[in-house]
């Protein structure tokens, strides 16, 4: 019984990393119906920016962390304004291809500047420190990530539900033309959404980096976050978080009792099942557009 509780607790802990990436992807999808496959590399660029100012410029962490968040917001603004907004007559597929191109460019720049060797990001919370809850052991970083994911999820949910900007984001997604006719500045909505999404991804990257920091470190969390968003619903913030914890627990159970080699396959198997039986996700409402 203790082993089962340990596996479930570890699944919840790793699901927190997936939840943050899922939240960042859902934010953009809720506004533009575009799946941002550059989300992981945007976080990667922010993490390596943090590493640079910490190690090369010797900036203390309490200043480097806010600087990294500001950099991530600026990066989101820049990519939306300078790249995506310049696409002529874009469709959803074209925008997705653009995000894949951005992903490869950012990955190439990071690899060129910093190399492929693993790095160590100075972080105030050690990934090797442990917290004991009864007979369950979790790392201090996993506990921190869990609480950060919950706080960000609640903050975003309240922001989108009870603020005018959140309502404007929903209107922009459902009908951009009608939103513009109602006086909503849809381009500004998209710009700010990319900035917020990039910030959430940066937080996820900074929490992942102390355990493993190398140019490909965000691929697995990004793909698992995407799987979580598909499972919970690409338009549902609480759904993406729930989907992340489901995937984290299920893949840990699979790795613990069946096969550790195929542990990572579970998330993509869940995507296939979700798309077959619940295309809108477990927690999202299915909308049918009529013309």
pLDDT digits (tens, 9 = 90+) for 236-258: 888 888 999 999 998 888 888 88
Between CA 269 and CA 163 the distance in angstroms is 37
Torsion angle of alpha carbons 208, 202, 166, 32, nearest 10°?
Answer: -100
Asked if 219 and 207 count as a contact pair (C-beta separation under 8 A), the reply is no
pTM of the model: 0.91
Characterize 164-191 residue by residue with b for buried, 16 or more Cβ atoms within 10 angstroms of its Cβ, and e for exposed: eebebbebbbeebeebeeeebebeebbb
Protein fold of 2-277: ABC transporter involved in vitamin B12 uptake, BtuC (1.10.3470)
Whose tokens are 């990934």? That residue is 127
**H or E stretch at 130:** strand 130-133
User: Where does the pLDDT of residue 285 fall: very low under 50, low under 70, confident under 90, or very high at 90 and above?
Assistant: low
pLDDT digits (tens, 9 = 90+) for 29-43: 888 888 999 999 999
For residues 194 and 243, the answer to whether their CB atoms sit within 8 Å is no
């Amino acid at each position: 019984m203790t082993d089962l509780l340990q596996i479930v607790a570890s699944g919840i802990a790793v699901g927190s990393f997936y939840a943050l990436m899922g939240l960042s992807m859902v934010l953009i999808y809720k506004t533009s119906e575009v799946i941002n496959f550059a989300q992981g590399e945007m976080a990667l660029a922010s993490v390596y920016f943090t590493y640079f100012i910490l190690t090369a410029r010797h900036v203390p962490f309490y200043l480097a962390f806010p600087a990294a968040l500001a950099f991530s917001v600026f990066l989101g603004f820049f990519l939306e304004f300078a790249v995506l907004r310049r696409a002529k007559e874009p469709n959803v597929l074209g925008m997705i291809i653009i995000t894949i191109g951005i992903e490869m460019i950012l990955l190439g720049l990071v690899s060129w500047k910093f190399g492929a060797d693993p790095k160590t990001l100075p972080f105030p919370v050690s990934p090797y420190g442990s917290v004991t809850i009864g007979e369950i052991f979790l790392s201090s970083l996993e506990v921190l990530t869990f609480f950060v994911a919950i706080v960000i999820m609640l903050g975003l949910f309240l922001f989108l539900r009870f603020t005018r900007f959140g309502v404007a984001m929903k209107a922009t997604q459902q009908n951009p033309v009608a939103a513009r006719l109602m006086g909503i500045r849809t381009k500004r909505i998209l710009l700010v959404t990319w900035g917020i999404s990039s910030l959430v991804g940066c937080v996820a990257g900074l929490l992942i980096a102390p355990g493993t920091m190398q140019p490909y470190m965000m691929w697995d969390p990004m793909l698992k976050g995407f799987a979580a968003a598909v499972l919970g619903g690409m338009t549902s913030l609480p759904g993406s978080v729930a989907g992340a914890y489901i995937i984290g627990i299920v893949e840990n159970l699979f790795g613990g009792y069946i096969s550790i080699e195929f542990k990572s396959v579970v998330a993509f198997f869940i995507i296939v099942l979700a798309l077959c039986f619940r295309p809108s996700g477990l927690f999202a409402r299915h909308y049918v557009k009529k013309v």
